[in-house]
Amino acid sequence: MTTSPRIFGIAGWKNSGKTGLAVRLVEEFTRRGYHISTIKHAHHDFDIDKVGADSFRHREAGAHEVVIVSGTRYAIMHELRGAPEPSFEDILARIGPCDLVLIEGYKREPVPKIEARRQAANNREPLAPTDPHIRAIAADHAVTDTDLPVFDLDNTQAIADFIAEVTGLPTKV
């Protein structure tokens, strides 16, 4: 593991297959022995807390950060309370040591990424022609209008091999 991990993104429109691909890649890299972290960008309000829980009550009372800790995991909830969304770099700095950080969303960040495409996506406008950081496309249909490598969206092993190559992820023994 390294304190300055390799970073690779998965970009695409809503319903393009980003989350499914991210989950399969985490499983694949973990199976290969790597420590993987993920960052998921949401374009909507979300909450990981339950109304009435002690931690919820702490936040409602005005706590800036609430940390929940147990023997199996911990979570830090940080309330922005009107402050701007933190930058990608600020969030990345909070990630602990790992081998690879997979980013889902943040489609405009200047990090190497793969574009996920599905016929069922809400928007099927290609991102690759206007994003020089997209290194490949993973699709559930034929893609012929590109010089980039194209993978079947479900070919997780080949996509993982490609990400390992692009990021210089060392082979696990």
In tens digits, the chain (173 residues) has pLDDT values of 555 679 999 999 999 999 999 999 999 999 999 999 999 887 666 667 778 888 888 888 888 888 888 899 888 888 888 889 889 999 999 899 999 999 998 888 999 999 999 999 989 999 999 999 999 999 999 999 899 999 999 999 999 999 999 999 998 86
Strands 100-104 and 74-78: unpaired
Contacts 24+ apart (CB under 8 A), 24-32: 24/154, 24/156, 25/102, 25/156, 25/159, 25/160, 25/163, 26/102, 27/156, 28/156, 28/157, 28/160, 29/99, 29/100, 29/102, 29/160, 32/160, 32/172
Give the pLDDT confidence score for residue 153 in this predicted structure.
Answer: 98
Residue 148: count other Cβ atoms within 10 Å of its Cβ.
15
Q: Measured between alpha carbons, how far is 169 from 120 in angstroms, rounded to an integer?
A: 32
Nearest-angstrom CA–CA distance, 10 and 107: 8
Cα angle, residue 140 at apex, residues 103 and 32 outer, rounded to 5°: 50
Write down the pTM of the prediction. 0.87
Instruction: List b or e across 88-117, with b for residues whose CB sees 16 or more CB atoms inside 10 angstroms.
Output: beeebeeeeebbbbbbbbbbebebbbbbbb
Pairing type for strands 100-104 and 134-139 reads: unpaired
What is residue 153's DSSP assignment? T
